Amino acid sequence: MAVTPIWPAGSNVNEQGEITFHGRTAESLLNEFGSPLYVIDTDDVRARAAKFVKSAANAFNNTVTHVSFAGKALLSKEICRIVTESGMLIDTCTMGEMRIALAAGVPGRRLVLHGNNKSDAEIELAITECFAKIVVDEPNEPARIAEIAKRLGKRARVMLRVTSGIHAGGHEFVSTAHEDQKFGVALLPVGADASKLNVLDDLADVTPAGSNARLGESEATPGESAERQLQYDIKYPYDMSHEKVSEGDRKLAEAMTMVADGPALAVLKEIYRHQDVLELVGVHSHIGSNIHDADAFIQAAKRMMLLRKTFYATDAYTLPEVDLGGGYSVAYTDGEDSMDLDTELARLADAVTTVNRALGMPAPVISFEPGRWTVAPTGVTLYRVGTVKPVQLAGTAKDKAGNPVTERVYVSVDGGMSDNIRPALYGSDYTARIANREGSSETKLCRVVGIHCESGDIIVNEVRLPADIQRGDVLAVPVTGAYGRTMASNYNQALIPAVVAVSEQDAHVMIRRQTVDDLLDWDVSE
């Protein structure tokens, strides 16, 4: 039984108050593998990966689902094998991620290439290895991919990343669907009235003729530009000029016309023009990170379905797949919200089914990219406590509850922002617990900090720890399986910790610890 719900499934607390992982004490792991140490419960990774795949399939039971593990969360050859054996593909965004996945034996058809600034070498490798998808991120990219594919004598499978205009995911660095950021191509033209898309929230008044409209250009008189408008094979009573045409049809026509004039559809047309070497497989939407419910996903999905419908109306092409990205939340502290996966995916599936039925479109393949959800709760970072420093304060500082703070204990450990940058980068909240003994019942307000020459080198901003915490204790910080090791650095020339896999079978090094010799070997200056 896990220590608490936010800890790995294989964790426990023994009679001595020690935290264990599949029977191995935290202290024994540090003694064997060194400190600091990333610990990953690989049995839990496997179970969570399989859970997401199953939940997606159950929710979207009227179509096919694909689930890709976002490799940026945590990547090693062992992780690659675990998630693919559990039914996932792997989403990569650099040559390093691509090569690790391929070295793990993952076939190209189970890999995706993402990224806003792909090199020619990355594109060439993805095409050569027959990647499942290359996600186009900007208007000039289709031509680049087409040229490389033609040179290789192959046809590349591509998907367009679209910025839907749905803003979600907390910190601005991880909210990725607004227009003013580096990813994707905007759904709507600049200055468009996005409120016209509200028609997607109620399509009850849309008629079959309205949903089956096609967008074309009317004949223009000499010297005038052609007028783009929805055209109907069936006239009365669905002719847009007729006084009895439904209000739903009018609003849908306005929304589709606006989308048809947007940058995203223009890029889809550009990809389609290269269909001899580019296979257009769908559209992609990623709206943010650590989102607790389906509301924002539903709104983004509706917009992607409208884009899909509009592209069919303009070019008679049915996009096979819609990727709804990642961002499914986990709790980082006890009592924090996390996504109820089955409930929220079911809500999302109902919304997608409803909007497609109203638009007269077949169900697309639905894809997801959970990285954090798959691995974050499976990981714990272990540290050795060094300095324990009580600091007296005047009471002007406040704790989380708003109470004055007159004393804060700074607990310094042998790691810090070099092994977990998220608190400094995003203001992310974590908790901590003494792992080598029970500790006193009396607690003190503590701030867990690292070894670096930065006042912002904070791992846990506020946590109550036993008052008798001392140098040499083992401190465990849970929910660090995602974006810990992968965002680690050598700031102050600190060594990046090892990653140890722990399961019912054994405990072994997954990624070795950096050494001082590594640092010296990399420095080739005289």
Residue that has been written with the tokens 């905007």 in this structure = 186
| Nearest-5° Cα angle at 469, 463 to 474 | 85
d(CA 372, CA 106): 20
80 in active site = no
Give which of 97, 77, 73, 68 is closest to 483, Cα–Cα: 73
Chain-centre distance for alpha carbon 406: 40
| Nearest-5° Cα angle at 137, 134 to 142 | 65
Contacts of 127 (CB under 8 A, 6+ apart): 134, 145, 148, 149, 152, 154, 156
Give which of 343, 339, 309 is closest to 326, Cα–Cα: 339
Contact of 288 with 177, CB cutoff 8 Å: yes
DSSP E strands: which ranges in 164-288? 185-186, 214-217, 228-231, 278-284
d(CA 486, CA 377): 15
Catalytic residue among 93, 130, 446, 453: 453
Please give the full DSSP string across 185-207, using - where no structure is assigned. EESS-TT--GGGGGGGG--TT--
Contact of 430 with 459, CB cutoff 8 Å: yes
Q: What are phi and psi of 156, to 5 degrees?
A: -95, 140
Return the sign of the alpha-carbon dihedral for residues 453, 455, 461, 464: positive
Contact of 133 with 107, CB cutoff 8 Å: no
**Largest interatomic CA distance in the chain:** 89
Catalytic center residues: 453
